[in-house]
Amino acid sequence: MLKTTEQRLTAIRQWLKDKDIDALLVPHEDEYLGEYVPAHNERLHWLTGFTGSAGAAVITKDQAAIFVDGRYTVQVTKQVSADHFEYRHLVEEPALEWVKSHLPKGSRLAIDPRMHSASWLGMAQEQLADTLELKILDTNPIDELWHDRPEPIISTVRLMPADAVGQTCESKRLQIAELIKKQGADSVVITALDSICWLLNIRGLDVSRLPVLLSHVILHADSSLEYFLDPTRLPQDFHSHVGPNVTIHHPESLQSRIEALTSKQVILDPATSNAWFKLVLQNTGANIVHCADPCLMPKAAKNATEVAGMRACHIRDGVAMAKFLSWLDEQVSSGHLHNEATLADKLESFRYQDPTIQDLSFDTISAAGPNAAMCHYNHENQPTPGQLEMDSLYLVDSGGQYIDGTTDITRTIAIGQPSDEMIKQFTLVLKGHINVARAKFPKSTRGYQIDTLARQHLWAEGYDYDHGTGHGVGHFLNVHEGPASISKRQIDVPLTTGMVLSNEPGYYRADAFGIRIENLELVVESKTNGDFSVLGFESLTRCPIDKRNINFDMLTDTELDWLNEYHQKVWHDVSQHVEGDVKEWLRQATDNVIR
C-alpha cells in the first residue's frame, strides 16, 4: 500500500518509465467535471495531499509541480511538501505552460480525457501543437495504484413528484426534445449531474453537498431517454414516475450506447462534458453539435412551484440563522469567544432542527478576524481553527439543501465594537448590495451589466473585491448553478424571470478582516409607468444585516428605506417561528433605523 507522497510519486514515475511517457497531468476534476468531487474520485488529493477545490499537478521523471489559484497559495504550502512539489500559480503559469518550458520538444504528456472538458482538450491540442505530443490514456494510472480507494457512496434515489417541482419528467423531456430539434440534432448527451436530476425529477446524495446521482443521460429528439445508472438502485415506481420511453442501462454499457450514435447529429456541451465523450463520438462517426446543454436555461428559470419552495425554505433557513446569531450575541456578551469549528457546528445544529434539510449546500465558511480576508477560507484545512476576538468581525457563509430549495447566505457580524475602518468598509459593501437588490433592468440584460452597481461605491474609494458578485442557485440542486452570473466576466446569458442569483459584494483586507453580505435574489418582472416591462430582484433571504457595522450617515434616504423595508420583511416572516430570547433578539435586530 502506497502510504506516503514519496511512495506515490515513485510509483507514478515507474509508470511513466514503463509506458515511455515523459509527464502526467493530474487535475482536481473527476469524470463528472462537477464543482465537488466525491472522496473516491479525489485523485489529486491522493497524490499530493492537497484538499482545495481547484488545482492540478504535473509529474515528470525527475520533477513535480502543483498549481493552485490565489485562494490556496497559503493552504498548499501547509498540505503539500516543498521537498516533492514546486508551488506554481494556476493562472499566472498554467500547467501546460510549465510543461512546455520544462520538457524538450517531442516529449509525451499523458492525460486522462475523462478528467478534462472537451473545450480544454481542443485548447490543449492547439497550444501543444508542434511542441509536445498529447498522449490520450485509456486508463488512469492513479486508479491502478490507489489500492485503499474509498468505496463510492450509494445513496437513495429520491423521486420528486410533480407537485414538488411543478413539471413532470415527461413534459420536460418533450420540452428539451424541441430544443434538440431546433439545433438540427438527433440526440444530446447530458453529463451535468444537476441537469440529469432536474430532467428526471430525481435527487440523491452521491456527492457531499450536492443532491445528485453519479449518472449519464442520452436524450433523443423523439423525447425517448437512455439513463445510465445501476438498475438495482432505482425504486420500483421509477418507470411510472418518469413516464414512457425511458430505458435503464448499466453504466458499463455507456460506451457502446454512445457508439450507437454513428452518423447522428449529437449535441455535446464542450464546457460541461468531458473530452472522452467527444473522442468516442468522433471515432464512431457521429457529427458533434457544439452548443450549451439544452437543460441549462429551463432549469435556471424556476417555475411557480419551485419559486414557492425557494421562498418557503428561505424562511426556515432564516429561523436557523436567527437562532444562531442570537445565541452568538449572547455567548459573546457573556465572554464566551468560541473557535470557528464550534461556531460552524452550532449553526449546522440549528439548521438540522428542520426535518426537511437533507445536507448543507457547501462546507460552511466560518472565519474569525483576519481569516475572513481569505474569501474561500475553510477552517477544516487549518492546523487549528481560528478564535473569535473582541472588537473584530466574524464572517459566516453557509447554506442548506432542503427538499424544497437551496439556500446560501453570508453575514458579517460585529464581535464587540468594530473599528471605524471596518464600519466604513462594511457600509460601502452594503451600499453596493442595496444597489443590486434595487436594480431595475430591461429584458435581455446580462449579469456583467449589473456587476458595476455592486462595485461603484468601493471603486470610488479605490477598493474592489476579487470574486464575482453573484452566481445562480438551483432548486434543491447545485448551490452554484449556471449559466447566468453577475460578475466582471462578460458571460452572454440574459437574466430571465425565475432565475435565482446571489448578491454578495465584499471587501477583504489581508491579515486584518473580511466583509461579505450575501442574499439570494429572485428575478421578477417589475411594474413601471413606462412603455415596456422591466425586470428586478426580490430578496429571498430572511436574516438581519448587522446594524452595528453600519455608518448610517453614509446611506442615502433611499438606501435606508430599503434596509428598513428588508428588515420588516425578515421580522414578518421569521418572528412567527421563534419565541423567547430569540424573538426579542430578532425584534431589536430588525427595528427600523430613524435618523
Domains and CATH numbers, the chain: 5-145 (3.40.350.10), 158-295 (3.40.350.10), 301-587 (3.90.230.10)
* Other beta carbons less than 10 A from residue 14's beta carbon: 13
User: Residue 548 corresponds to which cell in the numbers above?
Assistant: 452595528
Task: Classify 446 as helix, strand or coil.
Answer: strand
Residue type for 48, please? T
Cis status, amide bond into 483, omega within 30 of 0: yes
Cα torsion angle, 456, 457, 460, 465, sign: negative
Helix orientation angle between 304-333 and 557-574, rounded to the nearest 10 degrees: 90
pLDDT at 401: 98
Q: Report long-range pairs for 553-557 (Cβ below 8 Å, ≥24 apart).
A: 554/424, 554/427, 554/428, 554/431, 555/427, 555/430, 555/431
* Other beta carbons less than 10 A from residue 2's beta carbon: 17
Q: Which residue do the cell numbers 461603484 mark? A: 456
Q: Considering the entire predicted model, what is its pTM?
A: 0.95
Residue type for 410, please? T
pLDDT at 91: 87
Give 10-residue mean pLDDT values along the chain (595 residues): 89 97 97 93 96 93 93 84 94 94 96 96 93 96 96 96 98 98 98 98 96 98 98 97 98 98 97 97 97 98 98 98 98 98 98 98 97 88 91 98 98 98 98 98 97 98 95 98 96 98 96 97 88 92 98 98 98 98 98 92
pLDDT at 202: 98
Cα gap 59→141, rounded to integer Å:
12
Task: Classify 462 as helix, strand or coil.
Answer: coil
What's the DSSP call for residue 33? -
Cα gap 364→399, rounded to integer Å:
7
Cα gap 468→503, rounded to integer Å:
9
pLDDT at 431: 98
Q: Is residue 117 left, alpha or beta, with left meaning phi > 0 and alpha meaning psi from -120 to 50? A: beta
Buried residues in 552-580 as b, exposed as e (16+ CB within 10 A): eeebeeebbebbeebbeebbebbbebbee
pLDDT at 468: 94
